[in-house]
Structure 1
Amino acid sequence: MKGVWLFVFFMAVLVSFKPVMGVEFYTEADYKKIFFQEIQSRLSKVYPKLSLERFSVEPREAKVIKGMPYQVKFLGRPGLGFNTVILVFFKDGKEAFRVRLWGYVESNVSVAVVAKPLEKGEVITKNHLVFQEKPLSRLPKDVVLEEEEALGKEVRTSLKPNVVLRKSFLNEPVLVKRGQEVLIIGKGRGFLVKTKGKALQDGRKGEVIKVRNLTSKKEVLGKVISTNEIEVML
């Protein structure tokens, strides 16, 4: 009889500790997915190749039942680098608790890298460049992303191989050289005049330089528009 009562007691204890079925809690993987989806929805149009390099949840021991409504709040403006998101969970229409999500967001882009040595004043050709994937958040803002941004331009300083090319390293090539004969184009309202001139300064495209009108012998200022044309507003 004593054995029967022990068996009944043991079964009662098992029933009392039976886990609640059907209840699921958010895991760190779930929070990571939510975080990255929120980042992508805000940044993917600007940065198509996004990645999440580091991630953490606070508090780590939080037990949040899946399906509870929540609101997403970014601390600061979302962007590359460190981002913090607060998930505010609600129960019966009232705030129940908060979970902090933290992550480092990166975007890899293809940038121009110097492939062979460049001397100061040398003009860049295709042979001087290779394109490599680099983390954008760790790059200067003026990196060269397109080949056309660099080809045909001069470097302001000598550059070694494996240097990431920046726009600040580049100059437009000299189109007009001092002493060169040029065509002065005078523009006014309703008329256009052309005459021969002589450049008194070197000039790059768009720069304003001194030029002498060979007919009138007068010096004027004009904008370089091609390898032998100077535009003067009359």
Structure 2
Amino acid sequence: MPGTRHSARTLPLELRWDDRHPLPSRWVVPDGVRPPAPGRAGAAFDFSARMSALCADVAARCEELRHVHMPRVLVSFTPSRNRSRYGLQARVTPLRFRDGALTRSHGPTDYQVQRFFVDGREMLYVLTFCLPRFLDQTFREKLITVFHELYHMAPSFNGDLRRHPGRYAVHSHSKDRYDERMGELVDDYLADHPAPAAFAFLRAGARELWEAHGGIVGAVVPRPKLLPVGAVPRQAAARNRKGPK
């Protein structure tokens, strides 16, 4: 979910990246490796680009994920806080509220999640991987994580999360069953796949990828903040809460 409400009104309601202001990136550094000298990133393995391409392939081949439109998903990474293979692997952050609403009321004030734009296109989700931890899972674990996060995106792809009935709206009543279902989708995806090069990079760990490509880089963006947008008249608020076209 987006970051908590922030009282600093100096934070922008929109963040934009383009050719003049490119997405910030940084090295993904495995244990025992030193980042190359500045200027070498151009030859490195671009994790964000390759993962975005993989997710697009998954969406194209998996019926239950056909709604995912990767041009409106920003793929980034966050550095692992420690080298344990256990802990956060990935997360999907929705950039809209329930049913794709742009704002949500709390008392007399409406709040909005910061809006992200890349090359003029508004993003609806930020898909973030914890690196290098994610890359050091097994091949199957990595693919299950990818499917797990994509499946969280609402079937209407409106910037909201998929919601299940009952108390456990995000993972349904059983997270184990949720992951078991993701494993079934992974098996179907891998069966007779005509272009295994799409996911071949997931067969390598972080150190192997680094050594094969001379480095790994990925996009790093701030976690979107929840900001107040002021008291909005009832009719205007209703218009604002309509989802994206």
* Fold shared per TM-score above 0.5: no
Which gives a bigger RCO, structure 1 or 2 (Cα 8 Å, sep 6+)?
Answer: 2
* Structure number with higher helix proportion: 2
Give TM-score scaled by structure 1 length: 0.20
Give TM-score scaled by structure 2 length: 0.19
* Structure number with higher strand proportion: 1
